[in-house]
Amino acid sequence: LELELALRGAIDGDQFELHYQPKLDLNTGRVSGVEALLRWRRPGVGLVYPAEFVPLLEDTGMVVRVGAWIIGAACRQIARWIQDGVRDVRVAVNVSSRQFVEGDLEGDIRAALAEHRVDPGLLELELTESALMSNFEHTVQVLERLKALGIRIAIDDFGTGYSSLAYLKRFPIDKLKIDIAFVRDITTNPDDAAIALAIISMAHSLHMQVIAEGVESRAQMALLRRHRCDEIQGFHFARALAPADLARLVLENR
Q: Given its phi and psi angles, is residue 16 left (phi above 0), alpha (psi -120 to 50 degrees) or beta?
A: beta
Total binding residues for ligand G by CB under 6 A?
22
173 binds, among Na ion, Mn ion, ligand G, none (CB under 5 to 8 A by kind): none
**Of the candidate residues 108, 124, 129, 156, the single one contacting Mn ion (CB under 5 A):** 156
Q: Given its phi and psi angles, is residue 250 left (phi above 0), alpha (psi -120 to 50 degrees) or beta?
A: alpha
CA 51, 56, 57, 59 dihedral sign is positive
Q: How far apart are CA 16 and CA 33, in angstroms?
A: 21
Q: How far apart are CA 37 and CA 33, in angstroms?
A: 13
Q: How far apart are CA 139 and CA 234, in angstroms?
A: 29
Residues in the chain: 254
Query: Pairing relation of β-strands 152-158 and 175-178?
Result: parallel
**Of the candidate residues 32, 77, 94, 96, the single one contacting Mn ion (CB under 5 A):** 94
Nearer to ligand G, 154 or 247 (CB): 154
By CB under 6 A, tell whether 230 contacts ligand G: no
**Minimum gap (Å) between residue 18 Cβ and Mn ion:** 13
List contacts with Na ion (CB under 5 A).
156-157
By CB under 6 A, tell whether 235 contacts ligand G: yes
Nearer to Na ion, 167 or 182 (CB): 182
Q: Which of residues 107-146 bind Mn ion (CB under 5 A)?
A: 126
**Of the candidate residues 26, 31, 68, 70, the single one contacting ligand G (CB under 6 A):** 70
214 binds, among Na ion, ligand G, Mn ion, none (CB under 5 to 8 A by kind): ligand G
235 binds, among Mn ion, ligand G, Na ion, none (CB under 5 to 8 A by kind): ligand G
Q: How far is CA 100 from CA 57, 138, 204, 217, in A?
A: 14, 11, 26, 34
234 binds, among Na ion, ligand G, Mn ion, none (CB under 5 to 8 A by kind): ligand G
- 3-class SS of residue 87: coil
**Minimum gap (Å) between residue 88 Cβ and ligand G:** 22
Full DSSP string of 98-130: HHHHHS-HHHHHHHHHHHHT--GGGEEEEEEHH
Q: How far is CA 53 from CA 61, 72, 130, in A?
A: 12, 20, 20
By CB under 6 A, tell whether 89 contacts ligand G: no
245 binds, among Mn ion, ligand G, Na ion, none (CB under 5 to 8 A by kind): none
Residue numbers at the binding site for Mn ion (CB under 5 A): 94, 126, 156
Residue numbers at the binding site for ligand G (CB under 6 A): 21, 36-38, 49-51, 54, 63, 70, 94, 96, 126, 156, 180, 213-216, 234-235, 240
